[in-house]
């Protein structure tokens, strides 16, 4: 049988496979150390995909490289296709691959569950070390790279050990054990002191010591921690945002990086030994090793590995120095000793650099004056954006709209170029010509026929759910967090924390409220409360899913049929209602775990609502475009056709009830109901789900959850 792989290709593979794998492994390490640290500051799918791909490939490529070198080393010099000296150089590369298996400091785990696989990495560590020793022994005696190989072997073992230790410390059982021990120490010493006049960075680090036990649902232990500090409402909303940013960034560093290892005495010692070994090995290789007998390209690859190893350590050192964890360890020291003063001086110097990561606000006009969160991309601790999904724009297949239309500088440059160069006129001419051609050829009839057959094809192969998910994801919009929205949420949490006469009763009432508290506050005659109770009674299990969809559809109808608002306060309440409404529907459909709901049931409810609206317009022989026209028709003429449980029908009834209120009161009520629903979802979500969000840009609901904790508005579950 003829071999399908040509001899020339096999020869290239035999000569270049190890070199290619080695360089590819080094490249993956560089990608990880540069991009992994960005994933907590962005929800960009491209960045997340690059990090995910590099993370999965890094271990596989390094293991594959060790296997190739081991197989090559088994060849005796008599049968090998290259000099014995060069085999020694190949064996010298194995410790570099061990260090690559240790991963950069910026990522040890891609997901929270990866930390639980530390035993698997431990077994892998043992087998790879045995393989490295085996390859090294095959080059003896007479290996002129004996000393640099030993030095790099030490560095590689340390790197790999650091990763296993970091995974072990971040695993659930060990993290729970260490957290309980720390909480017990703080309870005995009462040494946690929060000072309002401190930098928000230091305050955030101190609060993290208190709240990190919440990640493991150690609510009862958290309640026992006594600390001295101000009421959280004494901080400004902007400082509160910065404090929570620091806390979530520390959550990310503890669970997904080597920060717990590198900030310990053991970690610092190991890191110094590791870096010293690399420098010593490079010096010995450069000055004392005779390069005769080595391929010139392989020598260049070896220098690239050395420089890469040193670059990784240097970059890691800067990440270590300028991390929030470092500032937390140095700052807030009231000790008047020389050491205490020295630590405070170092902390004050670091603050000047770390303060660059503070939340920054940018003023813009988008129908009204507002300020949006605009922290530079490389300095973000979270994405700073609020995603949204609009039911009406999804249903009528309109492009996703944004309340805050903020364009990036690059976007503005492109728009300016298109208009200055006249390119937009060319596109307009092409569009006009295409429409005329379609009308002439009557292609629209063919398209209509294809669309009809496409629906049958989708139903035949059961692709409805797949297409539904694709359409949902393409309908998502992203809003920058506005200062008005954050202040509004903060003030609502602060107000709720203050008005509860009995803390236990107040907390229980707030945690179980899905709009009831706000309705009782605004609905003086009780009509809305009675309406909501009657509506919820018609459902067997009226859950957060029904509440969100009904209030969302009602908000959509009110928003798109409302007249222009001149009052700034009412305008802000209207826009905030729209943003929160879209955000809650987005969570319900794309991230139901954050609302402690079932994904399949929430999708069924939304799809059912769309089907009802579609039937209505088909029966009336109307086209649901534009959006404003569709909303007006639904409000005026919709009939549920005697459907007993119609979410859309209930939403329309709710919208009509809200329409009876004064304009100012209506939007204030709706906006506060959405904050209440958001608070309910945040408080009923498992802490683990919040901890998982920090790796992909974070979510506003996680900030609300921490706000509730700071204001002591979360009901203990244990």
When pLDDT is averaged across residues 581-586 and rounded to a whole number, the result is 94
Q: Domain for residue 681, yes or no?
A: yes
Q: Which of 321, 349, 367 is the last residue of a domain?
A: 321
The per-residue pLDDT of the chain, averaged, comes to 80
Pairing of strands 361-365, 385-389: unpaired
Q: Which of 304, 321, 338 is the last residue of a domain?
A: 321
Confidence of residue 79 (pLDDT cuts 50, 70, 90): very low
When pLDDT is averaged across residues 9-20 and rounded to a whole number, the result is 76
Confidence of residue 434 (pLDDT cuts 50, 70, 90): low
Cβ neighbours of residue 621 closer than 8 Å, sequence gap 6 or more: none
pLDDT value at position 485?
A: 94
Q: Domain for residue 53, yes or no?
A: yes
pLDDT higher than 60, residue 452: no
Q: What is the DSSP string of 494-555?
A: HHHHHH-SSHHHHHHHHHT-SSHHHHHHH-SSSHHHHHHHHHHHTSSS--HHHHHHHHHHHH
pLDDT value at position 77?
A: 52
479 forms bridges with which residues in the sheet? Answer: 386
Q: What is the DSSP string of 35-95?
A: HGGGGGG---HHHHHHHHHHHHHHHHHHHHHHHHHHHHHTS-TTT-SS-HHHHHHHHHTHH
**Six token digits for residue 523:** 């609905």
Write out pLDDT tens, residues 494-518: 888 876 555 555 565 666 666 777 7
Q: C-alpha distances in angstroms, 227 versus 193, 412, 447?
A: 6, 49, 68
pLDDT higher than 80, residue 110: yes
Q: Domain for residue 609, yes or no?
A: yes
Cβ(149)–Cβ(91) under 8 Å? yes
Q: How far apart are CA 209 and CA 698, in angstroms?
A: 20
Range of the structural domain that residue 74 is part of: 7-173+262-321
Q: How far apart are CA 492 and CA 676, in angstroms?
A: 9
What is the CB-side half-sphere exposure of residue 552 using CA atoms within 13 A? Answer: 31
When pLDDT is averaged across residues 170-179 and rounded to a whole number, the result is 88
Q: C-alpha distances in angstroms, 417 versus 12, 36, 420, 575?
A: 47, 34, 5, 32
pLDDT higher than 90, residue 195: no
Q: Which of 274, 293, 321 is the last residue of a domain?
A: 321
Q: How far apart are CA 232 and CA 711, in angstroms?
A: 6
When pLDDT is averaged across residues 206-210 and rounded to a whole number, the result is 82
Note the residue count of the chain: 718
pLDDT value at position 131?
A: 93
What is the CB-side half-sphere exposure of residue 480 using CA atoms within 13 A? Answer: 22
pLDDT value at position 21?
A: 93
**The total number of structural domains that make up the chain:** 2
pLDDT higher than 70, residue 189: no
Helical spans, DSSP H, in 331-442: 338-354, 391-395, 409-421, 423-441
pLDDT value at position 117?
A: 93
pLDDT value at position 230?
A: 62
Using DSSP, state whether 140 is helix, strand or coil.
coil
pLDDT higher than 70, residue 191: no
Q: Which of 552, 602, 546 is nearest to 578 (CA)?
A: 552
Q: Domain for residue 449, yes or no?
A: no
Using DSSP, state whether 362 is helix, strand or coil.
strand
**Six token digits for residue 282:** 């490079």
Confidence of residue 311 (pLDDT cuts 50, 70, 90): very high
- Weakest-pLDDT range from 63-72, 214-223, 337-346, 395-404: 214-223
Cβ(704)–Cβ(596) under 8 Å? no
pLDDT value at position 308?
A: 96
- Weakest-pLDDT range from 267-281, 382-396, 607-621, 646-660: 607-621
Write out pLDDT tens, residues 38-72: 998 888 888 999 999 999 999 999 999 999 998 88
pLDDT value at position 718?
A: 42
For residues 478 and 335, the model is more confident at: 478
Q: Domain for residue 284, yes or no?
A: yes
pLDDT higher than 60, residue 122: yes
pLDDT higher than 50, residue 410: no
**Six token digits for residue 665:** 């009161």
Residue position matching structure tokens 């030490």: 154
In degrees rounded to 5, what are phi and psi of residue 407? -95, 145
Q: Domain for residue 413, yes or no?
A: no
**Six token digits for residue 288:** 């004392």
Cβ(508)–Cβ(538) under 8 Å? no
Q: How far apart are CA 269 and CA 153, in angstroms?
A: 17
pLDDT higher than 70, residue 301: yes
When pLDDT is averaged across residues 451-472 and rounded to a whole number, the result is 62
Q: How far apart are CA 449 and CA 434, in angstroms?
A: 20
Write out pLDDT tens, residues 541-578: 557 888 888 899 999 999 988 877 778 888 889 999 99
193 forms bridges with which residues in the sheet? Answer: 228
Cβ(573)–Cβ(667) under 8 Å? yes
pLDDT higher than 70, residue 373: yes
pLDDT value at position 93?
A: 94
Q: Domain for residue 363, yes or no?
A: no
**Six token digits for residue 706:** 């921490």
Q: Domain for residue 645, yes or no?
A: yes
361 forms bridges with which residues in the sheet? Answer: 373
Cβ(616)–Cβ(422) under 8 Å? no
Write out pLDDT tens, residues 639-679: 544 444 578 888 888 888 888 888 888 899 999 999 999 99
pLDDT value at position 409?
A: 44
């Amino acid at each position: 049988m003829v071999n399908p792989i040509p001899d020339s290709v096999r020869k290239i593979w035999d000569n270049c496979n190890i070199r290619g794998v080695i360089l590819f492994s080094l490249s993956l390490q560089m990608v990880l150390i540069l991009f992994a640290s960005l994933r907590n500051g962005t929800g960009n799918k491209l960045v997340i995909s690059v990090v995910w791909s590099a993370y999965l490939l890094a271990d596989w490529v390094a293991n594959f490289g060790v296997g190739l070198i081991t197989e090559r080393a088994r060849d005796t010099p008599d049968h090998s296709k290259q000099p014995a000296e060069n085999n020694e150089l190949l064996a010298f590369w194995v410790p570099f691959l061990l260090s690559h298996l240790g991963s950069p400091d910026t990522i040890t785990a891609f997901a929270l569950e990866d930390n639980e696989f530390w035993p698997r990495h431990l077994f892998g560590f043992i087998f790879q070390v045995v393989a490295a020793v085996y390859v090294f022994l095959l080059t003896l005696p007479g290996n002129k790279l004996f000393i640099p190989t030993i030095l790099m072997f030490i560095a590689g073992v340390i790197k790999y050990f650091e990763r296993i230790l970091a995974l072990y410390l971040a695993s659930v059982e060990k993290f729970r054990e260490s957290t309980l021990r720390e909480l017990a120490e703080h309870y005995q010493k009462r040494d946690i002191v929060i000072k309002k006049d401190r930098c928000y960075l230091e305050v955030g680090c101190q609060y993290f010591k208190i709240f990190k036990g919440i990640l493991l649902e150690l609510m009862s232990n958290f309640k026992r921690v006594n600390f001295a500090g101000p009421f959280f409402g004494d901080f400004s909303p902007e400082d509160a945002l910065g404090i929570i940013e620091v806390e979530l960034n520390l959550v990310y560093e503890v669970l997904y990086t080597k920060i717990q290892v590198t900030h310990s005495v053991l970690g610092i010692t190991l890191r110094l030994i590791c870096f010293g070994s690399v420098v010593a090995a490079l010096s010995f290789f450069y000055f004392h090793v005779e390069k005769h007998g080595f391929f010139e390209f392989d020598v260049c690859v070896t220098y690239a590995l050395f420089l890469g190893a040193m670059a990784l350590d240097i970059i890691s050192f800067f990440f270590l120095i300028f991390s929030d964890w470092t500032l937390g360890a140095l700052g807030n020291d009231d000790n008047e000793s020389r050491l205490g003063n020295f630590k405070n001086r170092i902390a004050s110097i670091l603050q000047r650099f770390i303060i660059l990561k503070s939340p920054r606000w940018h003023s813009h006009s988008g129908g009204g004056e507002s300020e949006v969160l605009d922290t530079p991309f490389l300095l973000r601790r979270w994405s700073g954006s609020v995603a949204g999904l609009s039911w009406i724009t999804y249903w009528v297949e309109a492009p996703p709209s944004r309340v805050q239309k903020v364009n990036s500088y690059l976007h503005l440059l492109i728009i300016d170029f298109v208009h200055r160069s006249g390119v937009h006129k060319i596109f307009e001419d092409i569009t006009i010509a295409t429409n005329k051609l379609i009308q002439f050829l009557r292609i629209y009839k063919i398209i209509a026929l294809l669309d009809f057959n496409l629906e049958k094809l989708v139903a035949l192969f059961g692709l409805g759910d797949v297409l539904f998910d694709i359409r949902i994801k393409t309908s998502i919009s992203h809003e920058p967090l506005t200062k008005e929205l954050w202040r509004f949420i903060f003030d609502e949490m602060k107000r709720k924390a203050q008005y509860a006469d009995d803390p236990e009763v107040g907390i229980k009432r707030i945690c179980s409220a899905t709009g009831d508290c706000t309705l009782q506050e605004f609905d003086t005659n009780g009509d809305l409360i009675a309406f909501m109770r009657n509506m919820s009674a018609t459902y067997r299990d009226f859950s957060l899913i029904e509440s969100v969809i009904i209030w969302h559809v009602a908000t959509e109808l009110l928003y798109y049929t409302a007249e222009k608002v001149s009052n700034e306060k009412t305008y802000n309440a209207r826009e905030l209602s729209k943003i929160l409404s879209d955000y809650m529907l987005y969570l319900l459909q794309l991230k139901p775990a954050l609302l402690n709901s079932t994904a399949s049931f929430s999708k069924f409810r939304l799809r059912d609502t769309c089907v009802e609206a579609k039937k209505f317009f088909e029966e009336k022989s109307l086209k649901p475009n534009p959006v404003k026209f569709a909303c007006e028709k639904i409000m005026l003429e919709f009939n549920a056709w005697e459907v007993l449980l119609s979410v859309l029908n209930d939403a329309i009834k709710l919208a009509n009830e809200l329409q009876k209120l004064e304009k100012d009161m209506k939007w204030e009520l709706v906006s506060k109901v959405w904050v209440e629903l958001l608070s309910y979802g945040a408080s009923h979500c498992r802490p683990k789900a919040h901890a998982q969000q920090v790796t992909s840009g974070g979510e506003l609901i996680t900030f609300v959850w921490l706000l509730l904790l700071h204001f002591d508005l979360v009901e203990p579950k244990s």
